[in-house]
Amino acid sequence: MKALKEKILSEGIAVNEDILKVDGFVNHQVDPELMKQIGEEFAAYFKDRGITKVVTIESSGIAPALMTSYALGVPMIILKKQPSKVLNENLFHTVVTSFTKGTSYELTLSQKFIDENDHVLIIDDFLANGEAATGAIRLLRKAHATVAGIGILIEKSFQPGREKLTEQGIDVYSLARIAKLGKDLIEFLPE
């Protein structure tokens, strides 16, 4: 997606060979106009999949997921990393280990929001090793829902996340696919 790639080139910072900082428009400050365009792009790509819910993982996936759900006219559900202490009944649970951050966290989904009739689109900001997306898929399978696809803003194509997901037969649509990162270097895969 041209607008996202241009924004990455003008405002993204390649910290090293592994990490791209996009704090100015995705992870800390959020660009609402860009998120609106991203939502419309995902909605156009996935429009014929019978999507009934959009699911994301807190926190940075929320903005693009909300705009996508709005464009598709369906609800958005946030998978929680910190389950509410007051509303913790009937939850599906799984543990996700992030290689990027070197941490593990519990991911939860309330059983009342997803069931076997749902066709779910997962939206997230980054795809690195794919552990977060794989955890989301595990939760959706516990709910017997169908995973209709995954929409990613920034895929680090030199890491194994995409392969892990496509091996399971899942359609991964990434708006910016990064071939290489380095100090002051951001290179995209050819379209």
Name the site residues for ligand G4P (rule: CB under 6 A): 19-22, 27, 57, 59-61, 98-101, 125-132, 156, 161
Let me know: does 135 contact 164? Beta carbons within 8 Å.
no
Cα 40 to the chain's mean position, in Å? 15
* Nearer CB in complex with ligand G4P: 12/91: 12
Nearer to ligand G4P, 100 or 146 (CB): 100
Smallest distance from ligand G4P to CB 35, Å: 14
CB closer to ligand G4P, 61 vs 151: 61
Q: Which is nearer to ligand G4P, 27 or 146 (CB)?
A: 27
Return the C-alpha torsion angle 9, 17, 163, 115, nearest 10.
-70
Which of 33, 168, 62, 184 lies closest to 123, judged by CA?
62
Helix residue spans in the chain (DSSP H): 2-11, 32-45, 62-72, 131-142, 161-166
Least spacing, CB of residue 125 vs ligand G4P, in Å: 5
Residue 23 CB, nearest approach to ligand G4P (Å): 7
User: What minimum distance in Å lies between the beta carbon of 11 and ligand G4P?
Assistant: 12
Nearer to ligand G4P, 22 or 120 (CB): 22
Q: Tokens 């989301």 label which residue?
A: 136
Beta strand pairing call for 91-98 and 172-182: unpaired
- Considering beta carbons, is residue 52 or 56 the nearer one to ligand G4P? 56
**In 3D, which of 134, 138, 96 has the Cα closest to residue 114?**
138
Kindly state the smallest distance separating residue 50's Cβ from ligand G4P, in Å: 26
Is residue 105 classed as helix, strand or coil in its secondary structure?
A: strand
Minimum CB–partner distance for residue 157 and ligand G4P (Å) = 12
- Tokens 């106009």, residue located: 33
Which candidate, 109, 184, 107, 188, places its Cα nearest to that of 155?
188
